[in-house]
Amino acid sequence: MSSNEINYTNKLLLKGNEAAVYGALLAGCECFFGYPITPASEIAESAALLFPKLNRTFVQAESELAAINMVMGASAAGRRVLTASSGLGISLKQEGVSYIATSELPAVIIDIMRGGPGLGNIGPEQSDYNQVVKGGGHGGYKCIVLAPNSAQEMCDMTVKAFELADKYRIPVYVLTDGVVGQMLESIRLPEPHPRPELPDWALNGQEKDRRNYITSIFLEYDELEEVNHKLGRKYKEIETHEQLSENYLVDDAETVIIAYGIVSRIAITAVDKMRAEGMKVGIIRPMTLFPFPKTSIKRAAETAKNLLCVEMSNGQMVDDVKLTINCSKPVHFYNRMGGNIPTVQEIMDKCREINKGASIPW
């Protein structure tokens, strides 16, 4: 089967996990290295089915450690490469992610978050936020983090992830929860991207590549300091140009909800119901978690009376919200954990509590 045998305009009914694999292939991804784990296993399963049919490379590695090092090798050779896991597996990959980021290699990593800490369970959570958004491994590196909330966005944002990875030579995460990964939705496939030419910096075993040099070890102190400064300049450029968010009924909102992933979809329904009751509530949905959409949140805080962060974690994104606005307005917090999902009614009740002044800021 070749890529031109697929009708890319047809709608398909896919799980979010499956949609991400289609997005990767349409983005010109050439290699998948991974290890299955619930609730991300359909990514490896779909890749095992589809990658060989399109003459791409699929390898089920013997472990998450092996998978991330295969990613590093393939990326160094100039190939577009994907891996995927959930919280436990992402933890095991962190040393390799630090090497990849420092070596300035592009790669895409999908994390379908499950309950934790420890072995936890296979229910949905958002408790990998700090691990992924703040770096996770050793050293002062960052990764771009995209946050889809639908199967369509699992496809589209995986395409975008490869574009950003190549543009900035950086690992890019597609970070979402087990609900988005597992739920079936109708999606429309985007047009395929041509498979990119090998970049000039790649190590491809050719005569012209012999002077190329990729490493993450810098034994001279001044040299490593300059590497960190160089990475910092790149991260500043990303923060300037790549912030993404969806704002819904924010302009006149007295309370602005901030939520991502499946929580954002529940919160939008709550906002519509509260608006019907005459409550001025809106929502900002971060679509990038790094760079965090500071511009949108700062602007909303100029007119809103309160901000409400709703998460399926113990309070991780809420810290970034408070830092963004420098506590200029009260930041409230509502959460569920352990695989539990906030309901529309729970979010509405919290907003009413805030309006009555009965809620203490986080």
- The DSSP annotation for 252-318 comes to T-SEEEE--THHHHHHHHHHHHHHHTT--EEEEEESEEES--HHHHHHHHHH-SEEEEEESSSSSHH
Which residue reads 């190590």 in tokens?
203
Domain architecture of the chain: domains with CATH: 3-241 (3.40.50.970), 245-355 (3.40.50.920)
What are φ and ψ of residue 337, in 5° steps?
-145, 180
| Cβ atoms within 10 Å, residue 314 | 16
pLDDT in 10s for each residue of the chain, 362 residues = 344 445 555 789 999 999 999 999 999 999 999 999 999 999 999 999 999 999 999 999 999 999 999 999 999 999 999 999 999 999 999 999 999 999 999 999 999 999 999 999 999 999 999 999 999 899 999 999 999 999 999 999 999 999 999 999 999 999 999 999 999 999 999 999 887 789 999 998 777 777 889 999 999 999 999 999 999 999 999 999 999 999 999 999 999 999 999 999 999 999 999 999 999 999 999 999 999 999 999 999 999 999 999 999 999 999 999 999 998 999 999 999 999 999 999 999 999 999 999 899 98
pTM (2 d.p.)? 0.95
Give the span between the Cα atoms of 42 and 14, in whole angstroms. Answer: 11
Cβ neighbors of 266 (< 8 A, separation 6 or more) are 259, 341, 342, 343, 344, 347
